[in-house]
Structure 1
Amino acid sequence: MGCQASKKQRKTSRDNRPSLLDGSTDLQNKKLIAVETKPQERKSKQPKSLDKNKVVELFQAEHQQIYRNKKFQQDYFITEEKVLINGFQGTIFVVEHKVTGLKRIAKIARNVLTSNQIAEYIEYLQQLKKIDHPNIIKLFDFYHDEKHIYLVEEYIDGGDLSQRLKTEMHSQEKIHVAFVFQQVLSAINYLHQQDIIHKNVSLNGVLVAQKSNLLIKLIGLDDLFYIFQDFNTNFSYRAPETFAENYQYSKSADIWSAGIILFELMYGIHPFQDSTRQLTIQNIKRNNINQEIDVNSISDEAFKLISDMINPDHNMRPSAKECLKYKFFKTIRKSSMKITSALLRVKEFESKNELRLILLSLMIEYLMSKEERDKIAQTFYKIDLNNDGKISKTELYQQYFESSGDENLARKEVERIFSQLDVNKNQFIEFNEFLIASCNKTALFSEENLTSFFNKLDRDHSKQISANELKVFFYNTQLSQSDWQRVIQLGEKKEETNNKISYQEFISLLTEND
């Protein structure tokens, strides 16, 4: 960086590369800006002794006003205010769930939507709640009233990606960049398979899950204003075709935005950023990349992937799935691993019936700690060799065969596991299914957890769970009332059939075989 690059200066072996340096610009080198709360800022904003009954008094009048949503107030305490993330148009808080004590992030924005738009937005959020990928931030709850929208997501504390990589990288091969960018592409690939276009992929929208690892989380999917526009709100990450009139956002525009992220991570500078918005947009449209960048400073494999992802012709860009097959990622080929404690629990898991899986899924969502979720996510990532966000029989077989050395035993074990876990019978184990099997059930099934979870489901405090009470947690399902009755009956003792589950039936159903 900082060196003039010309066609004559390029190495002969790289003459056939696509031209990234057409045009000129006097763009100065600018370091990436990290959005991260400074330690002293965090300390000053968190009270020394938090009286949860008076938590509203911690904030200004405007903050007290947004805390007035009764349903949100029933479920969460606000404990700390955070700095803005990824240009979010609202206020961000750290919150604590009143029942479980788990820490989460609450993003609260003004409700400026029409009645039709709010209905569309709620439908979209329901779709996001079903997203099941370890590299996409989890949306747990949402609320709305006439004045505000409330989004509650999983808590992450690993900081800004670009800053972490500056301190984590140990060689010029930038293996860590390949490792984290593979996770970014895996998340985008998963979304595109679900026919979801992110629209706002940017470096600030890629965060690290926790300080102790480089597990990546893609954020920004649920932000209020994103689904009602057809362009990336961070204009410097927009593909050239998105500036055309009446453009409709496509998956290839997400690929371009991700390519800009990889460019920044490899070269340390944005390729098109200029002194003004107008000049930056002009550079994007004309493919005027900063002439001061030394293109020889990265490997051929990295250059090839970047060139293809930010190809001005959107029809020529590879899909996320195709990108994951590039040679750039060969440097981080996942090493074989012995069966971990998580995999052992997968092996030992036995499912009694569908109701048990439903209850386990809900327990994990509301009670699993962030640390355990992230640890299991890393195991899942290692097994998912093709990075499509799900585990195939072949991928799981490879792990068990490497451990046992017995081909027949490994195949039988995989078939048994899939018969227990593959709930939707799609021939894959998805992340939530893997969480159900591999979580530490000794900790999950503590007396305190079981009691608090039963009380959460028992909305009318009758000391029994009915089909209607359980159904509340599964908005927009295709099950009829009679279907729900049959689901409830799966957990009842035959001699006590009353279309409800008692606490003892609840305990027996969850803890049998554990």
Structure 2
Amino acid sequence: MGICKSKKQNQSPQQVRIQHVKTANATDTVKESSPNNVAPGSVIIQSQQDFLMRSQELLTPDRQNTANKGKFFNTYTLLKNLKSPNEQIRQVCTVQHNQTGVTKIAIIQTHHYKQADLNKIQNKIQLLKKLDHPNIMFIYDFFIDSKQLYIVTENYDGGTLFSRLKSDNKDQSVSKNQLIQIYFQQIFAGLQYLHSIGINHKNLKPENILFQSQQNQLIKLVDYSNSRVKSNDDDLIEINYLAPEVIQKQQYTQASDIWSCGVLLYEIWTRSLPFQGDNLKEKKENILKCKIIKDESWNKIPPDAQKLINLMLNVNPSKRISAAECLKHDYFKNIVNYTDRTFVDDMLQRIQQYQSKSEFQKLLLSIMINKLMDEKEKEKLMIAFEAIDDNKDGKITKSELKKFLTSEKQRTLTDKIFQILDSNQNGYIEFHEFLLASCDTDKLVNKENLEILFKFMDKNQSQQITIKELKSLFIEARLTDQEWEQIFNQGDLNQNGKLSFQEFSQLLKSTSN
């Protein structure tokens, strides 16, 4: 992915920061410390609203620090190498976190970068770690040493775009057209989100569109361009998805991503590329002149899909359709977003219970979700989120929530539920806000996870967790020592400044739904 350079969206990482999971319900009070114990200059947190104003990035552990100072192999163990191009300089593999046992994907890239280039890469990764959308790759960890870069992401094992269509199309109950609609609605949803915060993907091609698992049709836009060095042999392959203006070395814009999507939509229908050529020069000329091959295979594409492809493959980038406009195109007008209504009822109940949890409980739950949440449970909530997010921009508005709630009883709860979820009161609900409030804590808070999390937080293996150890997980939280103490005291029952496993377990078990 790349940062958009246009004037309109030329924002700093701070300006485009995505606010992740926050606490809820500004009317609840936070436990106050005795005025006699207040340090000079400290600010007492009087309410959850104060807490939110002081800790906007507090609930994003593991995705804050730019590059870990520790060694990659002290944190992760390699499990299996996955097939990838340019294996001599880039290795993609499954890894296991040494403390939590959770499996993730790691991209290990040999580099010869100068320090200035490494600083740019770190800044880029820092921004990418803030992304918060169900159809966008999550980056959890990033390491650099003298020879290699290490990027740790979610685990995706559901196959690539084209391989998955082949297997999914065996299900006679769903047509090929319906599958492609489902796939591309998610692709455009992810792109619309990226473009809305000033990020261009810059590397859209089949192998960078993956499925979360074999059990669902949840798509993730991934990006290995950060850890890939292109060889000369790749030129003919890479040019297939490049827009004319990119080939001419002009500015890469959001419209350039849309061109790539047009090529992909053509290719998934015809199993061939829209621009052909016997050599690189001829293929370039056909792309620059926008000579789309419209043969018998083209005629088999549904008319609405043909119209959409033509709108995306316009040689003039200023006349190309946007990702948001793609989602509103007639090609997607009959698509149905489905989610289990019983699951929705249970989810709404959990959201209402969420407001009674303390800030400390929410902090601990946020770490468990990031590190220990079952992927299948997370996938269910991703699907529910996308079903509610009617315009697919990665944010849920109050009107979208109300539209999704079908019964009259549910609709009367719209304001209450929205207030709980929209914890930073910015007028919409982001994915990780939704995830934290709606997760099933009965499944999340089990004995095994409690032991794993306690050991993870107990950095010095003293069998107790201190305020210092808690703060180390939230290095960007702008809280005073007094504010940290107030939060910590919510779980420190004997007020000795340390949290035993018994206190820790009691605090988290009380969060069960």
The answer, yes or no, to whether TM exceeds 0.5 is: yes
Q: How does 1:194-273 map to 2 (within 5 A)?
A: 194-220=197-223, 223-224=226-227, 234-245=238-249, 247-273=250-276
Instruction: Name the SS for the 2:334 alignment partner.
Output: helix
Matched, 1:283 2:286: yes
Which stretches in structure 1 are left out of the alignment for 5+ residues?
Answer: 1-68
Q: How does 1:108-507 map to 2 (within 5 A)?
A: 108-169=108-169, 170=172, 174-220=177-223, 223-224=226-227, 234-245=238-249, 247-334=250-337, 338-340=341-343, 341-400=346-405, 402=406, 404-406=407-409, 410-411=411-412, 413-475=413-475, 477=476, 479-480=478-479, 482=480, 485-493=482-490, 497=495, 501-507=499-505
TM-score, length-scaled by structure 1? 0.77
Once superposed, what is the RMSD of the aligned Cα atoms? 2.8
Q: Distance in 2 between matches of 1:456 and 1:478?
A: 19
Instruction: Name the SS for the 2:150 alignment partner.
Output: strand
Larger displacement relative to structure 2 (104-113 or 166-175): 166-175
Amino acid of the residue matched to residue 111 of structure 2?
N
CA contact (8 A) 2:245 2:251 kept: no
- Aligned CA distance change for structure 1 residues 364 and 429 (closer, same or farther; 3 Å): same
Q: Distance in 2 between matches of 1:86 and 1:346?
A: 46
- Aligned CA distance change for structure 1 residues 506 and 85 (closer, same or farther; 3 Å): farther
CA contact (8 A) 1:186 1:389 kept: yes
**Corresponding residue for 2:22?**
none
Q: Distance in 2 between matches of 1:507 and 1:285?
A: 63
Q: 1:344-394: CA deviations, max 9, x gaps?
A: 433432353444333222211111122222222122222222111122222
Amino acid of the residue matched to residue 186 of structure 2?
Q
Instruction: Name the SS for the 2:143 alignment partner.
Output: strand
- Aligned CA distance change for structure 1 residues 337 and 441 (closer, same or farther; 3 Å): closer
- Aligned CA distance change for structure 1 residues 83 and 276 (closer, same or farther; 3 Å): same
CA contact (8 A) 1:238 1:257 kept: yes
- Aligned CA distance change for structure 1 residues 216 and 87 (closer, same or farther; 3 Å): farther
Amino acid of the residue matched to residue 341 of structure 2?
K
Instruction: Name the SS for the 1:151 alignment partner.
Output: strand
* Shift of residue 298, structure 1, vs aligned partner: 1.9
Amino acid of the residue matched to residue 491 of structure 1?
F
CA contact (8 A) 1:489 1:500 kept: no
* Shift of residue 173, structure 1, vs aligned partner: 6.2
* Shift of residue 343, structure 1, vs aligned partner: 4.2
* Shift of residue 221, structure 1, vs aligned partner: 5.8
Give the count of matched residue pairs: 434
- Aligned CA distance change for structure 1 residues 467 and 257 (closer, same or farther; 3 Å): farther
CA contact (8 A) 1:463 1:502 kept: yes
CA contact (8 A) 1:106 1:152 kept: yes
CA contact (8 A) 2:157 2:212 kept: yes
Q: Distance in 1 between matches of 2:88 and 2:394?
A: 27
Matched, 1:82 2:82: yes
CA contact (8 A) 2:360 2:487 kept: yes
CA contact (8 A) 2:305 2:331 kept: yes
Identity of aligned residues (%): 35
Q: Distance in 1 between matches of 2:211 and 2:338?
A: 22
Larger displacement relative to structure 2 (115-124 or 340-349): 340-349
Larger displacement relative to structure 2 (503-512 or 421-430): 503-512
Amino acid of the residue matched to residue 441 of structure 1?
T
**Corresponding residue for 1:40?**
none
CA contact (8 A) 1:232 1:238 kept: no
- Aligned CA distance change for structure 1 residues 180 and 291 (closer, same or farther; 3 Å): closer
CA contact (8 A) 1:94 1:105 kept: yes
Q: Distance in 2 between matches of 1:163 and 1:225?
A: 22
* Shift of residue 214, structure 1, vs aligned partner: 1.5
CA contact (8 A) 1:384 1:391 kept: yes
Amino acid of the residue matched to residue 245 of structure 2?
E
* Shift of residue 505, structure 1, vs aligned partner: 4.4
Q: 1:13-47: CA deviations, max 9, x gaps?
A: xxxxxxxxxxxxxxxxxxxxxxxxxxxxxxxxxxx
Which stretches in structure 2 are left out of the alignment for 5+ residues?
Answer: 1-68
TM-score, length-scaled by structure 2? 0.77
Q: Distance in 1 between matches of 2:270 and 2:362?
A: 47
Q: 1:27-74: CA deviations, max 9, x gaps?
A: xxxxxxxxxxxxxxxxxxxxxxxxxxxxxxxxxxxxxxxxxx962222
Q: Distance in 2 between matches of 1:261 and 1:87?
A: 25
Q: Distance in 1 between matches of 2:295 and 2:309?
A: 17
Name which structure has the greater RCO, CA cutoff 8 Å, separation 6+.
Answer: 2
- Aligned CA distance change for structure 1 residues 485 and 109 (closer, same or farther; 3 Å): farther
**Corresponding residue for 1:511?**
509
Amino acid of the residue matched to residue 90 of structure 2?
G
Instruction: Name the SS for the 1:331 alignment partner.
Output: coil
Q: Distance in 2 between matches of 1:94 and 1:496?
A: 42
* Shift of residue 443, structure 1, vs aligned partner: 2.3
